[in-house]
Amino acid sequence: MAASLKEDVKKKFGDEILLSATSIVDRESVVVPVSPALDIILNGGIPEGSFIVFTGQPKCGKTTTSLDFAATAQKPEYQGNLKNPRQAYYLNIEGRLKKRDLEGIPGLDLERFNVIGSQQGKILHAEEYLQIAERIINEEPGSILIIDSYSALCTEAEITSSMDKMQRADGAKLLAKFCRKVANVIPVNKNIVMGITHLMGNPGYGNVEWKEKSGQAIAYQTDVKLRAKMFKAWHSGADGPQIGQEVDWTVLCSALGPPGGNIKSYIRYGIGVDKAMELVSLCVDFGIIAKGGAWYTLTSIKDKPKFQGTEKLRQYVFDNPKVYDKLMDELRETMGVTCKSKT
């Protein structure tokens, strides 16, 4: 670009809008980890300034994972260059957020976790929820915004029409407009927006076809889209009680790495995402932790401690942060994870 043209552009639109490619490459950013399993398929975690979508069947851990992520993003080491502590906002569109959901996430700063939802005498409709979301993105740089869920958004036309009349609402167009308006703001203001959508079952001939019910506009703006497609009960031992659930995540699209990655995550009741269990499972799978029968050996740790059963091993890793960090570093190196936080 000619020097005179550069000067004219800067004069008319401001110095900040014209950047060299070098400044973009060298720009500092904070990458917030999600969990050991998801970090592997996301190349390290989720950078600030990202538009994320979690989709999947009901009750398979999408909300829990987003709340757990918010707790991590609130930690001091992931504040980066923000002037004020990172705020988290939760649009409780489905109205199902419970006390146990919040208390089950260790480390979640409730004073910096703001819940927005309908109350007695004031039912928010889709237009109002998205107006609030737009203001948060524009006026709260660095904030975490969880939209739970896009699928439950109900427009004013739908709310005000009677049940005996089918009101065809333009919910998809409204959502498309919202995505277009905030797509360029999110990376500039370093927000992280996590939207949740649901897969709805349409019975077919012997099979259930699961389809997303939130329009296609989100797909064009999102940086990462993850699907929780299936889960099963997680028991303590072969005959023990159920302590959580295993969730199967798939990367549908990603600006952070290749799509199609598949990984298993663990959600433990009362804890949220069980990062220690995820780490142990992955380290065993990739030979970082040696396994012989029911015994496990931490070969890279001093004195090479041995444990019988995964639960004892998991508890040791959970209780020893330095061991956790060392195993995580080895796992990243083994998997070739290159995305690192810059603060």
Give the predicted TM-score (pTM) of the model.
0.91
Q: What's the pLDDT score for residue 343?
A: 32
> What residue has token string 């709340």?
67
The reply to whether 165 and 116 lie within a common domain is yes
Please state, in angstroms and rounded to a whole number, the distance separating the CA atoms of residues 22 and 123.
48
Q: Is the pLDDT of residue 79 over 90?
A: yes
User: Among 223, 238, 273, which residue terminates a domain?
Assistant: 273
Q: Residue 129 burial (CB < 10 Å; 0-12/13-18/19+)? A: buried
> In angstroms, rounded to a whole number, what is the distance separating the alpha carbons of residues 189 and 293?
51
**11 located within any domain:** no
- d(CA 184, CA 137) in angstroms, rounded, equals 10
Q: What is the overall mean pLDDT for the chain? A: 89
Given 224, 247, 273, the domain boundary residue is: 273
**Neighbour-count burial of 204, counting CB atoms closer than 10 A to its CB (0-12 exposed, 13-18 middle, 19+ buried):** exposed
Instruction: Quote the tokens at residue 62.
Output: 């999408």
Q: For the chain, give the number of residues.
A: 343
**Does residue 187 lie within any of the structural domains?**
yes
pLDDT at 215: 56
Indicate whether 281 and 267 sit together in one domain: no
State pLDDT tens for residues 289-305: 999 999 999 999 999 99
Task: Mark whether 164 and 93 lie in a shared domain.
Answer: yes
Last residue of a domain, one of 241, 273, 305: 273
In a domain, 22, yes or no: no
CATH number of the domain bearing residue 182:
3.40.50.300
Total domains present in the chain: 2
- Whole-number Å distance between alpha carbons of 60 and 198: 10
Cα–Cα distance, 217 to 177 (Å, whole number)? 8
| Contact between residue 229 and residue 241 where contact means Cβ atoms under 8 Å apart | no
Q: What is the pLDDT of residue 167?
A: 61
What are the structure tokens assigned to 322, written together? 């330095």
| 266 shares its domain with 316 | no
What range does the domain containing 206 cover?
A: 30-273
